[in-house]
């Protein structure tokens, strides 16, 4: 019995030591939802196969400052807000527009950038906003469940908007001539233009949407992330990341 007690004590001590060694020096792991289909915020680099983008760089920098380790998990946009409300993820980083309706079920960080909605079209076709409103044959696409979809329906009330699961599918439809324009924010429009030849922004639609990170209700990450964002704004780090990924001119 005494030997067993000694062995148990040794095993317990070893377990505690291993646990201490295995714990991250960067603190707790936080599960961060991303779409990986929304350049330049998050995407899969074709050359390397690696997940990259503004969200990855910014979240990692924030975690360095607040003491956490990000674990990025790919998630579909459709249903993401109920998932966040239920606490299935700790953090959503996906170029999310801050709205009063969404703020009723989830918590937001302070805004990190202001964007506008634009009309993305095939290059050289000169189909501007007025042309789309006048010509019933010109088809509009966007992503389902987004503020982009809301803007598209408000801007083109007489059209049946083609809403896709993600913007990647909408862009493919545009390139394939299945639709003639995509309503998307200006930052992501630039990202898709960088990735695909033959696209251009034909018209500006809105210019006042604030993007922010999303958290489950009552998350203690909100205050910490806000503090880190404010530091990054003050010391120029956020400007550097914004410039790298085209969030600023």
CATH number of the domain encompassing residue 140: 3.40.190.10
Answer yes or no: do 58 and 108 share one domain: yes
pTM confidence score:
0.83
Q: With pLDDT > 70 as the criterion, what percentage of the chain qualifies? A: 89
Give tens-digit pLDDT for 120-164: 999 999 889 999 999 999 999 999 999 999 999 999 999 999 999
pLDDT of 35-47, one tens digit each?
999 999 999 998 9
For residue 170, tell me if it sits in a domain. yes
The per-residue pLDDT for range 6-58, each reduced to its tens digit, is 333 333 333 333 333 333 334 699 999 999 999 999 999 989 999 999 999 99
CA-nearest of 44, 40, 64 to 53 is: 40
Q: With 80 as the cut, is the pLDDT of residue 84 above it? A: yes
- How much of the chain, in percent, has pLDDT values that exceed 90? 86
Q: Are residues 215 and 99 in the same domain?
A: yes
Q: How many domains does the chain have?
A: 2
pLDDT of residue 8: 36
The answer as to whether 43 is a domain residue is: yes
Exposure string for 107-135, b = 16+ CB within 10 A, e = fewer: bbbeebbebebbbbbbeeeebebebbeee
Residues spanned by the domain of 241: 25-114+210-245
pLDDT band at 249 (very low <50, low <70, confident <90, very high): low
Residue 5 has pLDDT above 50, yes or no: no
Report the pLDDT averaged over residues 215-232. Answer: 98
**Rounded to whole angstroms, how far apart are CA atoms 171 and 197?**
11
In a domain, 14, yes or no: no
Residue 173: what pLDDT? 98
Kindly state whether residue 199 falls inside one of the protein's structural domains: yes
Q: 174 and 231 in one domain?
A: no
Same domain, 74 and 197: no
N residues, the chain: 249
Separation of alpha carbons 61 and 70, rounded Å: 10
Q: Cα–Cα distance between 211 and 99 in angstroms, integer?
A: 9
Pair of tokens at residue 60: 């990692």
């Amino acid at each position: 019995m005494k030997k067993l007690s000694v062995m148990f004590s040794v095993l317990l001590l070893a377990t505690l030591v291993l646990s201490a060694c295995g714990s991250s020096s960067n603190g707790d792991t936080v599960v961060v939802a991303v779409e990986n289909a929304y350049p330049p915020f998050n995407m899969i680099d074709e050359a390397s196969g690696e997940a990259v983008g503004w969200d990855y760089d910014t979240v990692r920098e924030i975690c360095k400052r607040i003491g956490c380790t990000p674990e990025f998990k790919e998630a579909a946009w459709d249903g993401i807000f109920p998932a966040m409300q239920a606490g299935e993820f700790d953090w959503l980083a996906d170029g999310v527009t801050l709205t009063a309706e969404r703020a009723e079920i989830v918590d937001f960080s302070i805004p990190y950038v202001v964007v506008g909605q634009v009309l993305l079209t095939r290059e050289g076709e000169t189909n501007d906003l007025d042309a789309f409103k006048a010509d019933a044959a010109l088809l509009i696409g966007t992503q389902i469940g987004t503020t982009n979809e809301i803007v598209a329906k408000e801007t083109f009330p007489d059209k049946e908007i083609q809403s896709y699961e993600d913007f990647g599918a909408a862009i493919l439809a545009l390139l394939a001539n299945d639709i003639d324009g995509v309503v998307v924010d200006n930052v992501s429009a630039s990202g898709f233009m960088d990735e695909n030849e033959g696209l251009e922004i034909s018209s500006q639609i809105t210019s006042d949407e604030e993007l922010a990170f999303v958290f489950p209700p009552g998350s203690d990450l909100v205050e910490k992330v806000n503090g880190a964002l404010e530091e990054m704004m003050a010391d120029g780090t956020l400007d550097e990341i914004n410039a790298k990924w085209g969030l600023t001119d």
